Structure 1
Amino acid sequence: MQGLLWAPRSLYARVPRLARVPSLQWMGIRFRSVKSFSREKRAEKPPAAQYSSSLRQKRWDGANLRSSIPSDAFPCLERANVSPQAVLTFFQANVLAWTLRRAVQDRLVSFGAPPGDAKKLLAAFAHASDSGFFDSPGAIEKYDLLRLRGSDSVEADVAFSNIFFRWLAAQDSVRGVNPTTVTKLVRLSEAATLMQPAEEFPMARKMRRKFIMHVGPTNSGKTHHALRALAASKVGVYAGPLRLLAYEIWERLNLGQIIPLGATEEQIAEAAKFGPSTDHPFARACNMVTGEEQKVVGVGADTLVSSTVEMLQVGLHADVAVIDEIQMIADRERGSGWTRAVLGLCAKEIHLCGEETAVPLIRELLKETGEEIVVNRYQRLTPLEVEQESLDGDLSRVQKGDCIVAFSRTAIFFFEEAGRNADRNEAALFNDPDSGYDVLIGSDAIGMGLNLKIRRVIFESVHKNDGDRGRVTLSVSQMKQIAGRAGRFGMQTGDEKPGGFVTTLRLEDLPVLRNTLSLGVSPLLYARVSPSKTAFGNLASCLPANATSETLYFADLHAGRRPLHCRTALPSQLPVVCEYIDQLGQFTFPDKYFIIQAPFPWRDRLALDTITTFISTYYETMHVDIMSIMGRLGYLDMLQNAETAMNAPDGRGANGRLFKHSFELPGLETFHKILVAYMWLSFRNPVSYPSQDETVKLKERLEHVLHWCLQEMTRFDGDKSVPVRPTRVSIPFQTPRELKLEAQQSKK
């Protein structure tokens, strides 16, 4: 079975509809020893279906992706990073500038305050600070000024707003302001307040759970110890940050590759006689649930589950649960999934694996529940060495077992064109020493725990683009997580020296990397929480009738109180999501909450248009058939055209024309995103979205085509095979402006 080269056939026999692992955006490229690469120029993204007029001439305007939050909405600072002792000074130095921002005034107006009252309230707030209101003993704690700690400009704006509403609630009246305005805003703040997040999970509150934290650097065996407890449990669940990581754990449990806790030396020795298979003495029936697919291996009381954090069923009663990469609880966009798991899981014993930095925060969260916590600390099992030299931009110095970590899609594509033939395939190809795929390209997501035989990590850069903050240096935690993936314990082959190595592609980045890896990591300050469905309904009654979905979310974010150790999640796609909801204009508040949580491909307009068709059909008929809609929109014809070309000697599709892989690929990728979205909808509402079997089959066919298409893009130029000698190149790290100036100088 192509696509899953490392799993025994016996496992497939147990899973009739086993889907292949699709190509990974974050995994990117594996260089292999076949010395050829594509000279075919990358085409503009075509209309995804040249086969359907309904999909023509639609493009996603990049301007629509810009945040609707004006740049002047935040204080004039790059990062607050204020110490507890300095928060009052920082607050008083910036509060006037914050109150004078037009965006802050407009936000109060959108919450229902008349423009005149909004200005007076903000002026009174600034005057109170100037008059020493916050100098009184206990004011810092009472009015949550400590929320300014560790804030960037976006978080600082939210913190100032939270402090404002906290101050407003303490006022009987504000001079010159209509009392009704104050009452409405205070009522709004009360509706948005969530001071006891744990109470959102009543089923878990009925249990007495035990927490065991496994903390330490990467490659220290912490997750291994937790998984052994899971493998020994009768009913258990694993949840991690990546779909492929959930897949890896699913596979290892089903094939008996995790030794259960409590196994005797005799049992371990006897089991060593068996190869990986579902008949292995340590094999456990384990199902898998991710946003893209579900794999059902067994049913009954003795079945385990492996899932992504967002798909975790917290109400499932289990003996043991393992939550991986617990430090992601502080992640601005996804952290609320980890908080939900910690507070809501109905498991007797919960193992949390990750960085030491998460320990104080988890202790703080569990103060509310009063549950037991044990912390096990581990040391790295193999040494990690920063090399003395960088590659100095010379790709000829890349070696077998290297992983180049890049931080933009452009950089990944550059490496694809730079030298050896490349292919996007499963992680097993890189781990297989005989596959020929001996160099890996990955993004920063590679730091999330996959077992890869990486000998050396090479940082393409030590900077990345981070939304509103622009280009920033990678954090200490990010660098340590990524670098630590080198030298995976137990995965060395032959005479390789144990341990891992790390370096940079550019000379100037190496000192930054070396200095950063020597630093300690500060404890996490905040866990992320999501607005509750109840809060959304309560807020709606407190806002003007014409309030937008974004106003609804911002009311929860800016007006509501949270415990000092919690912050509301900030999805980067929020403005786009809210605009989408309001344009359709037919959603109830539960529907809006549902869509805000949905992992739809918001950046792909073609995919989003089709998802809109799904939702509109649902409202019209309550029945969404995937085959009829995909046929009507031309996607089935697109797939058939590609499959015909894949099997045709002359490379021509069903339409009789030569198949251009780079031109067709974007449309096929959009089709894949649509199928993934339908699967997600069907998991939550299988009655209205019943085509799960058909979607799985379409997805398998499509992934086979995508794999072929990506292979052919690196192997062919048109319809002729063109072997190319490998070229040793140095990467031109120059901006377009620098290149232009260089060209002008050459002419002179």
Structure 2
Amino acid sequence: MQGLLWASSRPRVAPLQWVACRFRQQVARPKPRSSQANSPYRKNNHAPGAPSGEYFGGLKTPHESNAFPGLKGHNLPLDTISAFFHSNAEKWVHRRVVHDRLVAFGAQPADATKLLAAFVRDVSSGFFNTPEAFEKYHLIKFTNTEGIEADVSFSNVFFRWLAVRGEASPSTAVLLRISEAASNLHPAEEYEGARKMRRKFVMHVGPTNSGKTYHALRALAAAPVGLYAGPLRLLAYEIWERLNLGQIAPLGATDEQIAEAAKVGSSVDNPFARPCNMITGEEQKIVETNAKVLSCTVEMLNLGHRVDVAVIDEIQMIADRDRGAAWTRAVLGLCAHEIHLCGEETSVPLIEKLLAETGDELVVNRYERLTPLTVEKKSLDGDLSGVMKGDCIVAFSRTAIFSMKKEIEALTGMRCAVVYGKLPPEIRSEQAALFNDPNSGYDVLIGSDAIGMGLNLKIRRIIFESVYKWSGPGIGRVIISVSQMKQIAGRAGRFGMQETDEVPGGFVTTLNPEDLPVLKKTLPIQIPPLPFARIAATRDQFSELAGYLPPTAATETVFLAHIHAGNLPIYCRASMPPSLSLICEYLDQQGYFTYWDRLQLIQAPFPWRDRMALDAITEFVATYYQTMYVDVTATMRKLGYLDKLEAVELVMQTAAGVKRPKRFNHSFHLDGLETFHKILVVYLWLSYRNPVSYPAQDLAVKMKERLERALHWCLEEMSLVKGTTAPVSKPAIVHWRSERDQKAAEMDESMGPSPSLQ
């Protein structure tokens, strides 16, 4: 019956919302404009001795943790904030990057020097020592002062001070205009439709596997008009499927109705089935043109669409540096009579502050875990032969994932499904289904932290290969966050997914004994409340800021003006897109784009951290600049991706019993196919926003489907034990030692090399 659902849905081309218009001379492509002189974060602008970042794709990008060297005041106690501010203000003022940023905003160099000197004199004289000043200048924001956040907090204080104490000059006037354009003290007032409504918020908070999302979805299934918004395409897809197949019993359904629906099973004919459409940034599935229920990613919310019930998932992501603004926008602007927020307890105080501004009603429902979670007394002592059916091993290196897959399959005879970040969501879902199916022969799951969100998994035990994760050159390996460790561990013992003969509950341990004390110490830690929500610049703000900045201002400078000069509520901070310096400099070097073009390209899901994809990114951007038309087939053929796909398909078509070419390397092709999939996802994302320049949507969808079949086949063929679980002779015990001592594992799994199966 699922086939009927999928067959009835169809991709929809979004209506033409805009046609890119650009005034430019009828000459050859302009000489690339370097943003080096105007960007405050470039190598030559670093303070003497400050780390200057790393080379990536031929460009230079700084590490955010080095944005303010020497500051170690992360999560400062309230009574130490003032001392921290006074002892570090002069250090901040004397950084070259601070002076250069003001000049990039339009201040004269001499004026910038004078203003910074006056600011530090006021700090030294005790101007900020009073309780009134502490509150007025939002010094409490220094509670989170690690890396770039410290720089931003000092900048925010400086611009607030400038409006009160700044010496009158043309430079001061320019900086204050920029600050006014970047400020947003009452973000709720932007959403007139929501302000005309009296909304009711219901928060469902609790640990992983507590049933919080289940209760919210039941309210949605009973709503005349409703929507679901989550952080992942995978989650949007899951809810879309469950609603269409009647897998969610609506609130108010009787036991008799639930029993009758169970007899029908998952089907579009189930009495609980609700026609539901899906819209994400890269994909749209339309079951009915006027379906009353929608499942989407949170960035795709249409705030003008009125609904009875809305469900916003993973609300704690409202504080995420990159994407949190989408959750803030949903909370403040969604036109729904009843809004259900699902997530962690840590988000409750912040939501209370936001809703105090809107005047909306708030009810908080708290849940406890439905099944017990037990930390085992012993680790596996590095012995992968101790892995059992239903186990999930979590690693943070793609190399480690595939190496352990080989070892476990050789030692135990059990086949391993794999889930990691670079794997397309569709393939992750297929691998999860194989693991969940007791008859598939896939009894073990090996994955990255990608298992922590968006997949329902029948995991009996979580095993951490390591509790450390690579955080980049200059930082090294760090212990994963408390929140992340709790979320991953909580995936064990999923309620309602055990076999009939299994005792409900989950277990968690580590592969190596030295990691188990860290796990035991971390899991009981209470996570502090979220300190702030993120706010992004609107399109109008972006244009206004660009108008006030010098004509030669780099793209990055527009974002920095919003981040550093804006005056926001005390519980809000500006969004900070990842790799901003890298992306903006890259776009500026390609030629002159309108600010709208730049903003859209920055928002596009280009895989900037995937070195293999850099050629494709360059080809997309350059072709769009030159012709405003991107031919997906010609581009993929030119870059060799179609050839790679066709090579895999040729081997897939080999007749049964005929040996494949000896030199065929599944892991090598897998890496390229994953990158190809990312590139097609970008093309689809752009096609929904600009179908004139990216018109081959149907063709891209077909390529994507071919890719997913090839990816699934590659993963299946990489299992060393064919068919169902088969007994194998058990070799001597192999002790697995953490990858932390191996250089190859010291990479983020999204940036890792082709898996090594040595």
Q: Please, what TM-score do these two structures have when normalized by structure 1?
A: 0.85
Deviations 1:151-195 (A, max 9, x none): 312211110111111111111517xxxx22222212221121111
| Residue in 1 that maps onto 2:389 | 400
Contact 1:419 1:728 in 2 (8 A): no
Which of 540, 553, 570 is the aligned partner of 1:534?
Answer: 540
Kept in 2: contact 1:221–1:381 (CA 8 A): yes
Pick the aligned partner of 1:567 from 550, 560, 573: 573
- The answer to whether residue 448 in structure 2 is matched with residue 443 in structure 1 is yes
Per the alignment, residue 508 of structure 1 pairs with 514
Equivalent position to 1:152, from 142, 146, 149? 146
Quote the offset at 1:364 in angstroms: 0.8
Match of 2:704 among 675, 699, 707: 699
The letter of the residue matching 2:91 is: A
Secondary structure, aligned partner of 1:575: helix
1:457 is aligned to 462
Query: What do you get for the CA RMSD once the two structures are aligned?
Result: 2.7
Report the residue type matching 1:134 in the other structure.
F
Q: 1:414 corresponds to which residue?
A: 403
Residues 565-574 or 223-232, more deviating: 565-574
The aligned counterpart of 1:495 is: 501
How far the C-alpha of 1:700 sits from its partner, in A, is 0.7
Evaluate the alpha carbon distance shift between residue 651 and residue 470 of structure 1 in structure 2; reply closer, same or farther with a 3 A threshold: same
CA contact (8 A) 2:57 2:614 kept: no
Query: What is the aligned partner in structure 1 of residue 200 from structure 2?
Result: 210
Q: What are the within-5 Å matches in structure 2 for residues 213-362 of structure 1?
A: 213-300=203-290, 302-362=291-351
Query: Residue 608 of structure 2: SS of its match in structure 1?
Result: coil
Partners in 2 of 1:169 and 1:308 — Cα distance?
Answer: 39
Amino acid at match of 1:533: R
Give SS of 2:165's match: coil
Q: Deviations over 1:441-497 (max 9, x none)?
A: 222232225221111111222222345754332232222222111111111113212
| Kept in 2: contact 1:250–1:306 (CA 8 A) | yes
CA distance in 2, matches of 1:734, 1:613: 36
Please tell me whether residue 92 in structure 1 is matched to residue 86 in structure 2.
yes
Structure 2: runs of 5+ lacking an equivalent: 13-53, 410-414, 419-429, 723-727, 745-758
Map of 1:14 onto structure 2: 8
Call closer, same or farther: CA 1:662–1:445 in 2, change over 3 Å: closer
CA distance in 2, matches of 1:249, 1:166: 45
Residue 484 in 1 paired to residue 473 in 2? no
Change (3 A) 1:587 1:263: same
C-alpha distance in 2 between matches for 1:578 and 1:539: 16
Query: Matched residues in 1 for 2:663 and 2:402: separation?
Result: 24
SS at match of 1:541: helix
- The answer as to 2:191 corresponding to 1:201 is yes
Partners of 1:485 and 1:72 in 2: CA distance: 34
Which one of 574, 586, 593 corresponds to residue 587 of structure 1? 593
In the alignment, what sits opposite 1:189? 179
In the alignment, residue 217 of structure 2 is paired with which amino acid? L
Structure 2 counterpart of 1:115, from 105, 109, 114: 109
Contact 1:219 1:489 in 2 (8 A): yes
Residues 602-639 of structure 1 deviation map (CA, whole Å, 9 limit, x = unaligned): 12355344344444544555544433443455443433
Cα distance, 1:121 vs structure 2: 2.2
Q: Which amino acid aligns with 2:339?
A: I
1:488-530 deviation line (CA, Å, top 9, x unaligned): 1111113212111111122122122112222222111111111
| 8 Å contact from structure 1 (residues 79, 153) kept in 2 | no
**2-structure distance, mates of 1:79, 1:470:** 20
Alpha-carbon shift at residue 68 of structure 1 (Å):
3.3
Measured in 2, the distance between the counterparts of 1:576 and 1:592 equals: 13
Residues 417 and 432 in structure 2, CA contact (< 8 A), matched pair in contact too? no
Q: Does 1:683 align with 2:688?
A: yes
Could you tell me which amino acid in structure 2 is paired with residue 664 of structure 1?
A: H
Residue pair 1:65, 1:603 contacting (<8 A) in 2 also: no
Secondary structure of the 1:426 match is helix
Q: Deviations over 1:212-231 (max 9, x none)?
A: 11111111111000000111
- Give the direction of change, closer, same or farther, for the CA distance of 1:561–1:724 in structure 2 (3 Å limit): farther
> Contact 1:79–1:150 (CA<8 Å) still a contact in 2?
yes
How far did residue 208 of structure 1 move?
2.7
- Alignment-derived partner of residue 596 in structure 1: 602
Which amino acid counterpart does residue 136 of structure 1 have in structure 2? T
1:642 pairs, out of 628, 648, 655, with: 648
Per-residue deviation at 1:308? 1.9
Call closer, same or farther: CA 1:328–1:305 in 2, change over 3 Å: same
For the 8 Å contact 2:324–2:535, the answer to whether it is kept is yes
1:13 positional shift:
4.0
Q: Deviations over 1:538-569 (max 9, x none)?
A: 21122222211111111111111111111112
Q: Is the 8 A contact 2:417 2:435 kept in 1?
A: no
CA distance in structure 1 between the partners assigned to 2:363 and 2:717 by the alignment? 52
1:171 aligns with 2:157: no
Distance 1:118 1:638 in 2: 55
| Cα distance in structure 1, aligned partners of 2:675 and 2:713 | 16
Conserved 8 A contact 2:400-2:739: no
TM-score by length of 2: 0.84
Q: Give 1:552's match in structure 2, choosing from 537, 558, 578.
A: 558
Aligned residues: 679
Query: In the alignment, which residue of structure 1 is the partner of 2:18?
Result: none
Q: Answer 1 or 2: higher relative contact order, Cα 8 Å, separation at least 6.
A: 1
Q: Which residue of 1 aligns with 2:366?
A: 377
Local SS of the residue matching 2:61:
coil
State which drifts further: 246-255 or 120-129: 120-129
1:129–1:537 distance in 2 versus 1, CA, 3 Å: same
> Does the aligned pair in 1 maintain the 2:65–2:147 contact within 8 Å?
no
- Aligned partner letter, 1:505: L
SS of residue matched to 1:600: coil
Identity across the alignment (%):
61
Q: Would the aligned equivalents of 1:314 and 1:344 in 2 still touch at CA under 8 Å? A: yes
C-alpha distance in structure 2 between counterparts of 1:382 and 1:716, whole Å: 33
Distance 1:543 1:688 in 2: 30
Post-superposition Cα deviations, 1:546-601, rounded to whole Å, max 9, x if no partner, equal 21111111111111111111111222221221122211223111222222222111
User: Cα distance 1:540–1:15, how it changes in 2: closer, same or farther (>3 A)?
Assistant: closer
> How far is 1:131 from its partner?
0.6
**Displacement, 1:683?**
1.6
Is the contact between residue 361 and residue 527 of structure 1 (CA under 8 Å) also seen in structure 2? yes
2:670 aligned residue = 665
Whole-angstrom distance in 2 between the partners of 1:16 and 1:182: 56
What secondary structure is seen at the aligned counterpart in 1 of 2:645? helix
Assess if the C-alpha contact under 8 Å between 1:75 and 1:157 holds in 2: no
AA matched with 1:670: T
Q: Deviation at 1:306? A: 1.5
C-alpha deviation, 1:724, in angstroms: 9.1
SS of structure 1 residue aligned to 2:507: strand
Are the equivalent residues in 1 in contact too, given 2:305–2:335 (CA < 8 A)?
A: yes
Q: Quick one: distance in 2 between partners of 1:385 and 1:398?
A: 17
Q: Determine if contact 2:11/2:284 at 8 Å carries over to the other structure.
A: no
